[in-house]
Structure formats: structure tokens, C-alpha cells
Structure 1
Amino acid sequence: MDRLTALNVFRQAVELGSFAAASRRLRMSPAAISKNVGELEAHLGVRLLNRTTRHMSLTEAGSLYYEQIVGVLDDLESADSSLSPLQQVPKGTLRISAPTSLTLLTPLSKTMAKFLDRYPKVLVDLRLEDRRVNLVEEGFDLAIRAMDSLGDSSLVSRKIMTTPHVLCGAPSYLERFGAPEEPSDLRRHNCVQFTLSGHPDEWVFHRDDRAVRVPIAGRYKVSSSMAVRDALCAGFGLSLIPQIYVQEEIESGRLRTVLDGWSAVELSVYAVYPSRRHVVPKVHAFVDFVVGELGQGAVQD
């Protein structure tokens, strides 16, 4: 038995809640995970985990042992980092999750080649998908997320950039149905709804010290901002969309903004990663790079 490996397998199984999740995180087979835990229990002479086909829980001995080994494993990692200069060089595979629209409609995608050129020992595995992944269970090093406000306090986040939303539609739609003069006018308009927003059924507008919340509805709900943009350009309705996604269409006249005297929510883009005592250099390097390339580096913890 490789005791250090067994200890790390046990820790990951406890923190992730299952052997399957530990298998994905450590990139080991489920059989290897089970074997390491079994050998550790045999070495100690106690059962550490109660496990069935559907459930896993710590025994009393397992709970006590887990509390003892976590600090030891963290200290070993710290010692390795402090003694090996090579650990300070960004290297290895960097697994990133990012929204498709955000990546393709902002300069984010174009920064990847520059990042790889600067750090030749790093490999990037960028997964574009319009869903919120579980970073730990699915083995991602970090995620790029766009949100109105931070949700999960267990994650460390770094703000990359901020862009305002604009309310807009095609000239053809505005000619047929008129432009809203007040936020409340949106109740009679066909609003294209972005379902992954934190507010798909309600838009909020501000002017001076006044905030107006408007329930909105429409015939088209979609989980892609690119699809929202296409619907707007086709004259289907109005929508609240990050300005950076439609800047070219606004400048060309294909879309027109409305309610310009009101401000709407801002889209904040963050790099998020699990809160750990030690963050590997490849993660730090990437976050620092995109903040420098794209803009605003306010730190949020």
C-alpha cells in the first residue's frame, strides 16, 4: 500500500461524498479507490467508512481520523511547494469551464492562444457549455461565470470584467409595436427571455434613486445569449442583453436601444475556483492573465 496515496484517496472520498466522485477527481478507477480505502482500513484495523451501493458515511473512527490527516496532508503540500522551485512554474493541464456565448462573444476566446504562447508548459482543456458545473466533483480547475451577484461562498472568485446590459430590439419590431417609454410599458411587449439569467421573469431598471421591477413574458425562452441576439435581429421582440454581445449590431443599426434614460443590471464576469489553502501556479497564472487582458481586477472572496 502506498500510504500517502491511500490517505489522499480517503480524504477525497470523504470531501466529495462518494467513491465515484473521488475516482473522477483523482483520475483513478473506482476499483483503485475502493482498494486504497480497504487497504488503509486493514492497516489501521478499523472501519473508516460505512458504505452501501447508494450511500457512504464516516464511522466515528473515520471522522476522528479524517480530522487528523487533513492538516498533515496540507502541511505536506505546503512543504513540497516551498522546497521545489519547479512548483512555481505554471505547468500541466488546466481544465476550464466557460459559457459558450460569453466565450465566443467577448475577447475571452481570443486570449487563449496568447496565454498558451506565454506559458508553454500549460495545456488548456476548455469546455464550453451553458450550464453551471460542479468544479470539485467534475474535476475542473476553474470556471468562468457571468452573474449579477456571487452565490456560492465556498468558491474563491476574481472579477475579470463588467459590462452593462442594454434593452434593445430591431428597428422593424419598434416600427410595428412602438418603443417603450417607461419600464412598465414592457408588459405589453414580446420579451425574449434568457433562461440562465438569475432573473428570467423579471427585469429591474434604475433611474436616480428609483428602482422599478417589471415582470416580463414572451413567446420565446432560450438558454443561449447568441440565440437571444439572433431573435432580436430577426425582429422578434425586445430583450435585456449584455451590451458587449450586441455592440456591433447597435453600431450597424441592426438593433436599437430603448429606455436609454434607465440603467439596468450589470453583467460581472468572474473566474471562480475551489477555496483551497494552496492554489496551483497554473490557476494563478491564468486568472492574472485574463484579468490583465480583459480588464477589471477587483478581488472578491
Structure 2
Amino acid sequence: MDRLQSMRVFAKVVEQGSFAGAGLALDMSNAVVTRHVADLEKHLGVRLLNRTTRRLSLTETGLIYLERAKQILQDVDDADAMASSQSSKPAGTLRIYSHLGFGQLQLAQLLPRYALLFPDVKLDVTLSDHAVDLVEEGFDIGLFIELQKFDASMIARRIGLSDIILCASPDYIRQHGMPLKPEDISQHICLNFAYEQLRHHWPLFIDKRRIDVPITTKLVSNDGNLLRQCALAGMGIVIRSSFTLGDDLSSGRLVRLLPQHHLGTVAVTMVYPSRRQLSAKVRSFIDFISATFPEPESDPWQAA
């Protein structure tokens, strides 16, 4: 039994929604596809798929196994692609899309380091708050945040989880005091995003407990950088994803408030159209970002 091939066939059956569809996609007979799935289930000693005459559905075990199998298959393909690309020197123009805030405050620090490592790669970078179709618009790679949508067929690798935190300038804290508990925020001046769900309350989390804190809003804006600049000027308390703060916290320009609390997390994801036959320039950037952010389930942008 070729277990990796059986895993590929199983994943393709789920993707296509049928054995026949998987057979067409993989250029295999229906009998061969069925045998691969049956052999895999026999090897594991569990049922992965529920089969009826009309449809297929994953069992609970099948759903868990599928996610792990997809990651294993991606890692194998990535290893193959990395090995085959070693003979090619990264060169040419690399077109990168990035979420605006991440690009301005994080990518801007990363690109000089990448450029030193790969001097023959020319960088063409587009920043925007709007999601794009990477393939249609000719991008090699994209860096998205959780609220942005991208094509489900893209290869996606999370690079980190960014906490949404409360901050204020030292001047503001000197004038208005340091909030010591979530309820204290109600007595302060807040700089708020123009989201309806945040208009009257900020939901603060500690562990799994949620506290909805009524707020007094001095400024509302759809532009995060405007809110940040006003917070730096001492105008009020702001909520920001950690990746949008740059070195504001480590430099002391802003101070994190209620450090045990946050307003949730935002995933930052690296997205690219295909893991097969990646060019050396694309592979070099993927490896660079992966090495820079080796712990995708943590927040690498928090100040120490």
C-alpha cells in the first residue's frame, strides 16, 4: 500500500465529492480510487467516509484525519519543490500583495532583510485593505489578515496570531490615570473603529471569559493609522492589532493597558497560488517568511 498516494486519493475524493470525480481528476478508474480509500480505512481501522447512493460525507474521524493528511501532503510537496528549486538561483521580479497595515508596519521591516539575502530578486509590492485575486492580478504571493477573503483553492500558511489590544500614550495615562480593571475603561476617552459591533461596547477577554465594557467614544474612523496617530498624540485609548503597532510598544510611545485582556485575535496568513513547481524567487520568499515566523499559533508581534 502506497499510503501517501492513498491519502492523496482520499483528499481528492472529498474535494470532488465523489469517487468518480476523483478518478477523473487523478486519471484513475473508479475501482482504483475505491481500493485506495478502502485500503486506507483498513490500515487505520476506522471509517473515514459515510457512503450513500447519493452523497458522501466525512465521519468525525475522517474530518480530523483529512486536515492532518492535507498538511502532510503539503509538507511533502513543499520538500520536493524546495529540493528541485535548489538548482535555480532566485531572480526576476517578485510581485507581492499585502494587507495595508501589515505591509506598512511589518513588511517594510522585512523586505530590506530579504533583499540583502536575494539581491537578484526585484520586488514589486502592492498594499491594500481590499482583498485581491492573486492569480487574476498576477501576484506571486499574498499576505492576508483574517477578515480578508481569498480563493479557497490557494495554498494558505498561517504565520501568526495577532492579539487585538488596548493602548494609550504615556501622556494620556499621566493626565487620565491607568485603568486597572476592564470596568475602568468606561471612564476613559476611546478612539474607535467604525464597526457597528464596537460602537457602544468593547468586548474584553481574559482566558475564555468575556466582559462587555461600555465606552465613551471621542473619535470614530475607518482608518487604523489615523486612530494610531491620535493615540500617539495623547487623545485617548485605542484598540489595535499587535502587528499594526510596529515598535510603538517596545519604544514606549504607546503603553499596553490591561495586559491580561484582549479583544480577540486576528490570523495573518501567507497565500500563494500553487505549491507545485514554484519558481526559486517565490520559494525563497516563502522560506524567508516561514523562518521569520516559525510559530504560527503564537503572536510574534507582541513587545517583550
* TM-score, length of structure 1 as denominator length: 0.56
| 2:158 alignment partner in structure 1 | 159
Q: Does 1:142 align with 2:141?
A: yes
Residues 96-145 of structure 1, C-alpha deviations (whole Å, 9 max, x = no match): 11234323323x32332332343344321012333322323322222112
For residues 240-265 of structure 1, give each alpha carbon's deviation from its aligned partner in whole angstroms, at most 9, with x where no partner exists: 22345547444555433322332442
Give the equivalent residue in structure 1 for 2:47. Answer: none
Residue identity opposite 1:220 in structure 2: L
1:130/1:224 contact within 8 Å kept:
no
Say if 1:168 and 1:238, in contact at 8 Å, map to a contact too: yes
**Contact 2:165–2:256 (Cα < 8 Å) also in 1:** yes
The residue correspondences of 1:1-301 to structure 2 (distance < 5 A) are 88-106=88-106, 108-147=107-146, 153-187=152-186, 189-194=188-193, 201=199, 203-214=202-213, 218-243=217-242, 245-246=244-245, 248-251=247-250, 253-274=252-273, 278-297=277-296
Cα distance in structure 1, aligned partners of 2:206 and 2:86: 53
Label 1:138 to 1:219 Cα distance change in 2 as closer, same or farther (>3 A).
farther
CA offset at residue 89 of structure 1?
A: 4.5
How has the CA–CA distance of structure 1 residues 256 and 272 changed in structure 2, closer, same or farther, with 3 Å as cutoff?
same
3-state DSSP of counterpart to 2:129: coil
Give the Cα–Cα distance (whole angstroms) in 1 for the partners of residues 197 and 276 of structure 2: 34
SS at match of 1:239: strand
Inter-CA distance 187–139: structure 2 relative to 1 (3 Å threshold): farther
8 Å CA contact retained: 1:130, 1:223 = no
CA contact (8 A) 1:93 1:123 kept: yes
CA deviation vs aligned residue, 1:44-89 (integer Å, no higher than 9, x gap): xxxxxxxxxxxxxxxxxxxxxxxx99x9xxxxxxxxx9xx979954
Query: What amino acid is the match of 1:139?
Result: G
**What code does the residue aligned with 1:130 have?**
D
Contact 2:163 2:264 in 1 (8 A): yes
Q: Secondary structure at the match of 2:144?
A: strand
RMSD in angstroms over aligned alpha carbons?
A: 4.0
Query: Any conservation in 1 of the 2:85–2:280 contact (CA below 8 Å)?
Result: no
Partner Cα distance (2:197, 2:175) in 1 = 27
Count of residues in correspondence between the two structures = 218
**3-state SS, counterpart of residue 109 of structure 2:** helix
TM-score, L = length of structure 2: 0.56
Cα distance in 1 between the residues matched to 2:160 and 2:93: 25
The answer to which of 91-100 and 206-215 deviates more is 206-215
Percent of paired sites with the same residue = 29
Deviates more, 1:279-288 or 1:210-219: 210-219
Distance 2:127 2:198 in 1: 22
Structure 1, 92-101 or 228-237: larger mean CA deviation? 92-101
Q: What is the SS of the residue equivalent to 1:218?
A: strand
- How big is each residue's C-alpha offset from its partner over 1:275-296, in whole Å with a ceiling of 9 and x where there is no partner? 5755444322211112213443
Q: Is the 8 A contact 1:187 1:215 kept in 2?
A: yes
- Quote the Cα distance in structure 1 between the aligned partners of 2:161 and 2:234: 27
Go from structure 1 to structure 2 and tell me whether the alpha carbon gap of 1:114 and 1:200 turns closer, same or farther (over 3 Å shift).
same
Unmatched runs of 5 consecutive residues or more in structure 2:
1-23, 28-80, 298-304
Q: Are the aligned partners of 2:161 and 2:296 in contact in 1 as well (CA < 8 Å)?
A: no
| Residues 266 and 86 of structure 1, relative CA distance in 2, 3 Å threshold | closer
* Secondary structure in 2 matching 1:104: helix
